Structure 1
Amino acid sequence: MHILWDFDGTLFNTYPAFTETMYKLLKSEVKKEHIFEQLKVSFSHAASTFGMTDEDIADFKRNEKALSPVLKPPFPYVEKVLKHASKNVIMTHKTRSEVDAILNYYGWEHYFDEIVAGDDGYPRKPDPASYIYLHQKHHIDLAIGDRELDILPAKKLGIKTCLFQNDSEGADFYLIDYRQFAYKVAPSFK
Structure 2
Amino acid sequence: MKVLNHNEKLTILWDFDGTLFDTYPVYTKIFKRILNNEEICEKEVYAQLKISFRHASDYYKLSSEQLNEMSLLEEGITPERMKPFDGVEDVLKYANKNVMMTHKPRNDVHNILEYYGWNKYFSEIVAGDDGFPRKPNKESYVYLHQNHRIDLVIGDRELDIIPAKELGIATCLFQNNMSKLADFHLNDYRDFWKKIV
Q: Would you call these one fold, judging by a TM-score over 0.5?
A: yes
Deviation at 1:170, TM superposition (A): 1.0
Partner of 1:5: 14
- Report the alpha carbon displacement of residue 70 of structure 1 after superposing the two structures with TM: 1.2
Q: For 2:96 and 2:75, how far apart are their aligned partners in 1? A: 31
Matches within 5 A, 1:110-189: 110-167=120-177, 168-186=179-197
Q: Distance in 1 between matches of 2:104 and 2:75?
A: 10
1:95-153 CA-to-partner distances (Å, cap 9, x unmatched) read 00000010001110000000000000000000000000000000000000000000000
Q: Partners in 2 of 1:58 and 1:38 — Cα distance?
A: 19
Instruction: Give 3-state SS (helix, strand or coil) of 1:171's partner.
Output: coil
> What per-residue deviation string (whole Å, max 9, x for no partner) do you get for residues 44-92 of structure 1?
1100111101111111122112111111110000000000101000100
Aligned structure 1 segments of 4 or more residues deviating by more than 2 angstroms: none
Query: 2:28: which partner in 1?
Result: 19
In structure 1, the partner of 2:4 is none
Report SS of the residue matched to 1:113.
strand
Q: Which moved more, 1:110-119 or 1:67-76?
A: 67-76
* Count of aligned pairs: 186
Matched residue SS, 1:136:
helix
Which residue number in structure 1 is paired with residue 5 of structure 2? none
> Aligned residues: percent identity?
55
Secondary structure, in 3 states, of the residue corresponding to 1:161? strand
Gaps spanning 5+ residues in structure 2: where? Answer: 1-9
TM-score (norm 2): 0.93
1:36 aligns with 2:56: no
Would you say 1:90 and 2:100 are equivalent positions? yes
Structure 1 unaligned blocks of 5 or more: none
Q: TM-score of the superposition, structure 1-length normalised?
A: 0.97
